[in-house]
Amino acid sequence: MASAAVRITVDEFLALPEIENPHRELVHGEIWEEPAENRGETHEIVKSNLAFALSLFAGRPRLLIGSSFWFGDAMLVPDLSLLINSCEVARTSIPDIAIEIVSADSATRLMEKIALYRESAVSEIWVLYPRRGTIAIYTKNAVREVRETGSLTSPLLPGFALPLAELFS
């Protein structure tokens, strides 16, 4: 007989000792961990390329790297997140854009995270697929795919355009 997974609260999760590795998130009471080795060099290069491009953008949204956010009974840590209109950063803040770079996440876990972001009114979720050289941009009611010859743009960042060839190089 299979044993039931132990569920914990956000408060219990926050009381756990700090660790550097693995990357840890809480989803519906279940701890999800991803060792840094699973992310790999490509993941980190793409994250750095995007963070650099966003940091140079004249609109200067608040760019956060590895910050955690509460989404109901979940605590997620997007690879990158943008707060466009907020001056204050708190775990209870909702990012305007949450960015996930696909490396080793299972499809089920990734879809669960996207659903949580959408339910929590994150305006856009950018899911980067470095191996395919594409990006899926999720909004409340739609998904748009940007292919390798296109550019990453967003109505939330007027004037921002990053060619995918540069992002994934």
Enter the pTM of the model.
Answer: 0.83
Kindly report, residue by residue over 116-166, the tens digit of the pLDDT: 999 999 999 999 999 899 999 999 989 999 998 999 999 999 999 999 999
3-state SS string for the chain: CCCCCCCCCHHHHHCCCCCCCCEEEEECCEEEEECHHHHHHHHHHHHHHHHHHHHHCCCCCEEEECCCEEECCEEECCCEEEECCCCCCCCCCCCCEEEEECCCCCHHHHHHHHHHHHHCCCCEEEEEECCCCEEEEECCCCEEEECCCCEECCCCCCCCCEEHHHHCC
Kindly report, residue by residue over 94-128, the tens digit of the pLDDT: 899 999 999 866 777 889 999 999 999 999 999 99
Mean pLDDT calculated for residue range 1-15 = 68
Kindly report, residue by residue over 20-77, the tens digit of the pLDDT: 655 777 787 777 776 555 567 888 899 999 999 998 886 667 888 888 888 888 888 8
Q: What is the pLDDT of residue 154?
A: 95
Q: What is the pLDDT of residue 129?
A: 93
2 has pLDDT over 60: no
Assigned fold of 39-167:
tt1808, chain A (3.90.1570)
